[in-house]
Structure 1
Amino acid sequence: MEARPVEHLWYVAYGSNLVADRFAAYLNGSSATSIYGPHRPAPTTVPPLDTRCLWLDHALYFAGHSQRWTGAVAFVDPAPAPRGQGSCGRGYLIQLDHFTHVAAEENGATGCSWTPDWAIIIMRVGDCAALPVHSHGEPWRGKYNVALRLPDIDGTPALTLTTARDLGVGQPSTAYLQLIENGVRDSRLFADEEIAAYLDGALRRSR
């Protein structure tokens, strides 16, 4: 397969990064007093080229524990979901180095030494690539430690971040769940009366 250059990819969010302002904290940086906590800015603080709301064929659930959010946080199952049990997503068309920066920030890590250029082209939809996320001096131990290949969007590769670890399911805090609810509402993929049922499904999978 002949290599071809890739300059951007679609990062597809499904948790708190459904909210554009929250995702912007990863690219632009934020202070310790921010409601999103402290984050380093990306190597270049340019906004996404495009953004759109879409559907992921992977089920949403909550697991692990976040000190910032005082509860479990969102993941999607790497395996395809049964029909109708997928997840609300928001895609951001970003630079390649922004993706690895986001992966590091999602894990509160010092870095993610993965180069997605050629790798994302040869990954098949549904494949996962292990991310060398360096957390507390140990590689591979980040919560969001795999990149899941999603179908291309307008011919451009798409990825999301999730986990291959058994972090233990759990319940999110009210504040974290409210943030996701706001993002789902902004997506307009659901009528207002459908949002509670969508989130309840994720909560049930997390018990």
Structure 2
Amino acid sequence: MEYVWYASYGSNLHHDRFLCYIEGGTPEGSEKTEIGCTDPTHPVKSEKEMLPYPLYFAKQSPRWQNEGVAFIGTKPVANTETYSRKYLITKEQFLEVVQQENNGIDVTIDLNQVMENGSHTFDPSAWYGVVVYTGMFAGYPVFTFTSPEVAQSEHRPPSVPYLTMIIRGLLAMMPAEQVLDYLSTNQEVALRYSKDDLWQIIEQSNRHFT
């Protein structure tokens, strides 16, 4: 069985939310039920990751109150750090996660070609239509996916439920104060949420762990 790392950076930072793509189910706060993977086996392991790609929130997601969702740029940017949680899953599971994130479209991707080229746009019109290879970790390739046109998309702040999922995922990796510093500097988040607003959401999310 062939394994790859999937590096998440949006709501899939939250382990339970990501498992809805593996097992099927409706994530808390979401308005869509995910079908899950053919193989519902949980990830072998997960690890914290730092991605050198800028984080954006854009488009209007029917899953998340028609508000913005997370994307990253397709090219590394110096001194840029986007927090990620990577999951070690099978290649087939990864491709099915990509398919679910794109509302079930046909997905045919040669991951070896992605590794050779650094990225591959398999559908220019799909929200998450480009797969990016970020390197190797512990003997397995690391992939993520994003929009081919995120720089041209209308940037839009995320909804509270979507932001809460991200915050819960981040709280599993770092203290609350660090989560505040990280999110308050994001341009789309700052359009709608003050630091006080963010801290209230973080405190509410923190109770989830106590």
TM bin (shorter chain) = 0.7 to 0.9
Task: Specify the SS of the correspondent of 2:125.
Answer: coil
On the 8 A contact 1:109/1:142 being kept in 2, the answer is: no
Q: Which residue of structure 2 aligns with residue 111 of structure 1?
A: 106
On the 8 A contact 1:58/1:80 being kept in 2, the answer is: yes
Q: Which residue of structure 1 aligns with residue 155 of structure 2?
A: 169
2:19 & 2:189 partners in 1: Cα distance? 29
Q: Which residue of structure 1 aligns with residue 73 of structure 2?
A: 77
Once the two structures are overlaid, the 10-residue window that deviates more, 64-73 or 34-43, is 34-43
On the 8 A contact 2:184/2:190 being kept in 1, the answer is: no
One-letter amino acid of the structure 2 residue matched with residue 23 of structure 1: F
Task: Specify the SS of the correspondent of 1:175.
Answer: helix
1:193 maps to 2:145: no
Q: Which residue of structure 1 aligns with residue 122 of structure 2?
A: 131
Once the two structures are overlaid, the 10-residue window that deviates more, 195-204 or 51-60, is 195-204
1:102 & 1:163 partners in 2: Cα distance? 15
1:88-138 CA-to-partner distances (Å, cap 9, x unmatched) read 10000111111111111111123312232x324423xxx221124xxxxxx
Structure with bigger strand share is 1
Pairwise CA distance, 1:148: 0.9
1:131 & 1:153 partners in 2: Cα distance? 24
On the 8 A contact 2:59/2:69 being kept in 1, the answer is: yes
Structure with bigger helix share is 2
Structure 2 unaligned residues grouped into runs of 5+: 192-210
Runs of 4+ that moved beyond 6 A = none
- Return closer, same or farther for 1:7/1:120 CA change in 2, 3 Å cut-off: farther
On the 8 A contact 1:63/1:73 being kept in 2, the answer is: yes
On the 8 A contact 2:183/2:189 being kept in 1, the answer is: no
1:41 maps to 2:36: yes
1:10-44 CA-to-partner distances (Å, cap 9, x unmatched) read 0000000000101100011115x964421112121
Pairwise CA distance, 1:59: 1.4
Q: Which residue of structure 1 aligns with residue 187 of structure 2?
A: 203
On the 8 A contact 2:29/2:162 being kept in 1, the answer is: no
Work out the percentage of aligned pairs sharing the same amino acid.
26
1:62 & 1:206 partners in 2: Cα distance? 11
On the 8 A contact 2:25/2:35 being kept in 1, the answer is: yes
2:28 & 2:170 partners in 1: Cα distance? 22
Please tell me the root mean square deviation across aligned C-alpha atoms, in Å: 2.0
Pairwise CA distance, 1:204: 4.6
Structure 1 unaligned residues grouped into runs of 5+: 1-5, 133-139
TM-score normalised by L of structure 1: 0.82
1:121 & 1:79 partners in 2: Cα distance? 14
Q: Which residue of structure 1 aligns with residue 140 of structure 2?
A: 156
Aligned length: 187
On the 8 A contact 2:157/2:188 being kept in 1, the answer is: no
On the 8 A contact 1:59/1:202 being kept in 2, the answer is: no
1:122 & 1:79 partners in 2: Cα distance? 15
